[in-house]
Amino acid sequence: MSTLSISNVSSDYQGHVILHQLNLTLQQGEIVALLGPSGCGKTTLLKAIAGLQGISQGSIKINGQVLSGEGVFIASEQRGVGMIFQDYALFPHLTVGDNILFGVKGLNKLERQTRLEDMLELVKLTGLGGRYPHELSGGQQQRVSIARALAYEPELMLLDEPFSNIDAQVRHEMMLEIRAILKQRNVSAVFVTHSKDEAFVFADKLALFEQGHIVQHGAAETLYANPHSRYVADFLGTTNYLPVTVSSDLLLESPLGVLTSASLLPHVAGTHGQLLLRPQQMALQADTQGQAKIIDRRFLGTVCHYKVNQNGVDLEVSSPVMNFEPGQRVQLTVVGHPFVVFNDANLPT
């Protein structure tokens, strides 16, 4: 049985529909990122799961129990859901220990003490239970909020942009730490972010939003390699599009010549479309007779990104070769991979 099941969920503010018939399921221990630009409805869905926002259609269930919908609305505090917010939301006048145990009910003194010590150890704050929030760093405060959310053993953890206030240098490490804690406890989680990089690091699955719709969801690798639309492709990384005509099951005609896909194309011969090419799906070789020309160069540490022109088409290409100079002739090849071609007929005009 899935931990979280969102079926056909719509939600509105004063009759203005924000979420449109969303479907999403989450297995025990899975982490999903709700990903999308500002204002697309991610937080509204998180609030609906938490019971802080009503729904107008569909249902939300945890472990098969209806929380919202079908005539039922379970109060937020009875949902078995832990929440971690961007601003930590710790009580400043309570110690770390009291913050962590705030929502824990039904344990005797000894059990509470044991629970607290377990939590402090889990989030690597052993010995700091007597401190106040202002005596901790931002990262430590965020760990207290995680410990507090985990202390009452939620079925599901909801995280609303929890890393956006954390220094970029420690953010990555912190994301991995929190992910490890959730995985260790086998707690399912829903994580809101507008950053694909955070989503890739933290989540197992992505649900990509566009104006209140989930336009595609699944494993991050699947969305990256097989996006259903240019919106999804563009959101998940740098893209190039090459105008092509499908000439057979495997072959395309393009300004770079005939290209061969590593898997069968679903388009009929004669279809005009746009071939998606990521910067790393092309390779460059020094060649004074090459048809491509380096236009610009950007150093990115482990690779260089080059703007390259061939037959009037500009392409962004990633290369481990660092020393191509603007103006230099090179040979550009498309690295073998299963092609993704967006049909021109389906593109927005």
Ligand X SMILES: Nc1ncnc2c1ncn2[C@@H]1O[C@H](COP(=O)(O)OP(=O)(O)OP(=O)(O)O)[C@@H](O)[C@H]1O
Q: How far is the CB of 85 from ligand X (least distance, A)?
A: 12
Tell me how far apart the alpha carbons of residues 231 and 40 are, in angstroms, rounded to a whole number: 13
Q: Looking at 61, 79, 171, 194, which residue binds ligand X (CB under 6 A)? A: 194
43 forms part of the interface with ligand X (CB under 6 A): yes
Q: How many of the chain's residues bind ligand X (CB under 6 A)?
A: 11
Q: Is 196 in the site for ligand X (CB under 6 A)?
A: no
Nearest to 57 by CA among 212, 215, 217: 212
Is 15 a binding residue for ligand X by CB under 6 A? The answer is no
Q: Does 108 bind ligand X (CB under 6 A)?
A: no
CB atoms within 10 A of CB 171: 19
In the bound state with ligand X, the residue whose beta carbon lies nearer, of 191 and 241, is 191
Among positions 3, 11, 44, 319, the unique one binding ligand X when judged by CB under 6 A: 44
Query: Binding ligand X by CB under 6 A: which of 3, 5, 42, 96?
Result: 42
**Distance (Å, rounded) from C-alpha 5 to C-alpha 24?**
6
Region of 142 (left: φ > 0; alpha: ψ -120 to 50; beta: rest) is alpha
Whichever of 160 and 244 has its CB closer to ligand X, that residue is 160
Cβ nearer to ligand X, comparing 20 with 112: 20
Is position 39 an interface residue for ligand X (rule: CB under 6 A)?
A: yes
Q: CB 18 → ligand X: shortest distance, Å?
A: 4
The residue within the footprint of ligand X, chosen from 18, 48, 174, 220 (CB under 6 A), is: 18
Q: State the Cα–Cα distance between residues 198 and 189, nearest whole angstrom.
A: 14
Give the binding range for ligand X (CB under 6 A) out of 35-43, 54-62, 242-250, 296-304.
Answer: 35-43
Binding segment toward ligand X, per CB under 6 A, in 36-44, 65-73, 117-125, 282-290: 36-44
Residues of this chain that interact with ligand X (CB under 6 A) are 13, 18, 36, 38-44, 194
